[in-house]
Amino acid sequence: MAAITPVPRDSNLYCYKGFCFLKEIMSPEFIDSLQDFKIRDDDVFLITYPKSGTIWSQQILSLICSEGHRNGTEKIETSERVKWFEFRALNPDVDYNSCPSPRLFVSHLSETLVPRGLKNTKAKVIYVMRNPKDVMNSFYRFQDISVLTAKSQDFHQFFEKFLDGEVFAGKWFDHVRGWYNHKDAYNILFLKYEDMIKDLRSVVKQISTFLALKLDDEAMDIVVKKASFKQMKNDPLANKETLPENIIDKRFGSFMRKGQVGDWKNVMTVAESEIFDKLFHEKMGDLSLNFTWEVDE
């Protein structure tokens, strides 16, 4: 088994195979066992680094794939429709191997940790990314409600932790790079949070085309409406208000926080932004990946 190392600034986490896991939720043995999970050709995996628009994309995927676009299933948790691949605690009684096809999964796993059988198959992967300054900001604010992770004293401390990968899921750079570098081995669609903000309808269309599911205009209107920030914030299931208190402290906020591009400017100093830009250039400069950092770009 690979080495398990502590995470200096968060004793709730451990590092394993380049990823930081929550001690309370997942063991290294369980993580290793996922590599042999049997993939079917019609599986769909939605994969993100945390705070990149996971729940939003999960909602969209669920809406696109559910007949009637959730009419009649509004009271069913999204996590029952698009199941957390590694957080089995949310679906403890479900045997993922015997779920009917098509199975929809959501995951934060890095490319090295997903089932081996996902490579070179027809199974689909949708990878959603977001500009990392907003990811960092959203992650920092998430500390207010996250019960399972250590709280940083201030943004600067979190900034350093984030760059060092001492947060759940590890380094953003490694996650995005890992998936992007291995894209040719997967049947994968890359999406960006900022494009979803700019033109959600086009992204919904892109996803449905990728899934070979044709939505007529009326269906498209329903999906776009039900995936709007306002609608999701007012829907306790979409806003994950049903998560237990030992995971989320609802007194201090919710998953649907602001939903904007460029909110990092309200917390990051000019000096921090410059340090980040330099690092981003060093680590990602060779990839053809462009992010939108502010709305009026």
The contacts found for 149-154 with CB under 8 angstroms, 24 or more apart, are 149/10, 149/12, 149/13, 149/22, 150/9, 150/10, 150/11, 150/12, 150/13, 152/9
Min dist CB 122 to ligand PPS, Å, is 26
Q: Which is nearer to ligand PPS, 120 or 242 (CB)?
A: 242
**Backbone phi and psi for residue 187, each to the nearest 5 degrees, phi listed first:** -90, 85
CB closest to ligand PPS, residue no: 259
Closest CA to 150 of 135, 140, 159, 137: 140
The pairing of beta strand 104-107 with beta strand 83-84: parallel
Read off φ and ψ for residue 73, nearest 5 degrees: -120, 15
Nearer to ligand PPS, 212 or 296 (CB): 296
Q: Which residues of 135-160 are buried (b: 16+ CB within 10 A; e: fewer)?
A: bbbbbbbbeebbeebbebeebeebbe
Q: Least distance from C-beta 198 to ligand PPS, angstroms?
A: 11
Taking the least distance from each CB to ligand PPS, the nearer of 29 and 131 is 131
Angle between helices 217-226 and 54-65 (to 10 degrees): 150
- Rounded Cα distance between 205 and 119, Å, is 25
Report the residue number, 56 or 162, with the smaller CB distance to ligand PPS.
Answer: 56
How near is the Cβ of 121 to ligand PPS at its closest, in Å?
25
Residue 86 or residue 119: which is nearer to ligand PPS going by CB?
Answer: 86
Vertex 210, ends 206 and 214: CA angle to 5°? 80
The site for ligand PPS (CB under 6 A) is made up of: 48, 50-56, 134, 138, 141, 227-229, 232, 255-259, 263
Catalytic center residues: 108
Between 50 and 117, name the residue whose CB sits nearer to ligand PPS.
50
Distance CA 79, CA 255 (A): 14
* Minimum separation from the CB atom of position 1 to ligand PPS (A): 27
Closest separation in Å from C-beta 55 to ligand PPS: 4
Q: Are 114 and 56 in contact (CB under 8 A)?
A: no
Q: How far apart are CA 178 and CA 182, in angstroms?
A: 6
Q: Output the DSSP codes for 94-137.
A: --GGGSPSSPEEEE---TTTS-GGGTTSS-EEEEEE--HHHHHH
Q: At closest approach, how far in Å is the CB of 52 from ligand PPS? A: 5
